[in-house]
Structure formats: C-alpha cells, structure tokens
Amino acid sequence: MTKAEIQSNIEKIRSEIGELKSKAGIEYEVVVEAVTKGVELERILWAYECGIKVMGESRVQEALLKIPFLNLDIEWHLVGHLQTNKVKHAIEIFRVIESVDRVELVEALDRRLAKPIEVFVEVNTSGEPQKTGCVPDQVYNLIEEILKKEKLLLTGLMTIGPYPVEEKRSRAAFAALRELKKKIEEDFGVSIKWLSMGMTEDYPYAVLEGANLLRIGRGIFGGRT
C-alpha cells in the first residue's frame, strides 16, 4: 500500500460520505477515524499527511508500540475492549475511550485518572452474543455511574454493526443507537456529541442513520500486517 493509494482511498470515502449527506439532507460534519490495528507507522504517517487527525487502536499493547513514536497532533481513541488491568496504560496514551461497557471499568478508570478523559458507552445493538458492549437494558445503569464521576466525560455512544453486513439489519442496529442517544439526552438532561458507528463494510448505512464518527481501517489502509 503506497501513500498515493491511501490518499485515493481517503478521497473515495470522503466523496461517498458527501454523496450520502446530500442524499439524506445531512449538514453536520461526519469525521473519519482511521483504525490502525495491524498498521505500521509509515502507513499511519501517510494517512495523517492525507488529513486524518483522529485515529483508533483496538489493543493497548499495540498502541504502546506506536503512539509514543508518533509525535503528531493525532487524537487517539481506544476502540477495542479494555481490560481493567490495562487501564493504567490506556489513560496515559488515549484521549478518548470508546469502549466503556461495564460498571467495573468505570470504577477502574475513575480510580486511576488524574485528569478528565472522554468516554463513550459501547452498546451491543445487534444482539449478537459474540459482540462486546453492554446490552441496551444495562445502558441506563452504566450512564448513571459515569455521570457520578467528575473525571469521566460522557461524550459519545458506540456500536459495532451486525455481521455479515446486510442493509436492513445494519440500519436497524444503527438506528437503535441513534434513538437511544435521543432518549438518554432527554432522560438525563445531557448532550451527547458523538455517534460512533460504521466501519469499512457498513459505514454508508451508518451515515444514513446518523453516525458522525466512522471507524475505518481496511478501507483506508488495505490489508493488515
């Protein structure tokens, strides 16, 4: 994968997002977050030079081998499952934790934090048992616990769409997160900025259902090492 190919991929994605926004009458910005799992430093640098400033890593251990060596103004998000024993390292290198899915993790983050950090609640809206994320019935309890913590700033919700990808099921899962966001904002009197949903194979459906943060790896970087 060359820099020119990465640039072409990014331009293609942004063009399609523009077409989708026009089709749906969407006026807000939709941010592309490059997921760098299995991607070496050179390709990450190329994506940055092509205008990607938000990037996501799935594993803390892999992030520790990359992020400290990239002295760039990248906003790093943790998008993978976070074990409580990795919290100490995660809060040192990530600006946002997108995968908060249980009260145990909320408590572990709060104990370790010296300064506030942004968090998203990850919700399993597809109902697939192999997926991470809390089930919708657990979300309110988790939100209540997060809002009690001064150093946890709730700024988003995240979900992973169903697999295999099929438009009806994908859109239903993404619409469920959008509706949940609306309900949480009304019931808790909070404002949630981000809906993180949609990946390489299903991001068009996510955009049409209200996503404003897309997590795209292979669609930008090609194959992983």
121 and 157 in contact (C-beta within 8 Å)?
Answer: yes
Element (H, E) at 128: none
The answer to whether the CB of 192 falls within 8 A of the CB of 184 is yes
Q: Who's near 12: CB < 8 A, 6+ residues apart?
A: none
- Are 121 and 139 in contact by the 8 Å Cβ rule? The answer is yes
Q: Specify the CATH number for 3-219; select among 3.20.20.10, 1.10.1040.10, 1.20.81.30, 3.40.50.10420.
A: 3.20.20.10
Whole-prediction pTM: 0.96
Q: Where are the domains of the chain?
A: 3-219
Region of residue 108 (left: phi > 0; alpha: psi -120 to 50; beta: else): alpha
How is residue 83 written in tokens? 């074990």
pLDDT in tens, 113-167: 999 999 999 999 999 988 999 999 999 999 999 999 999 999 999 999 999 999 9
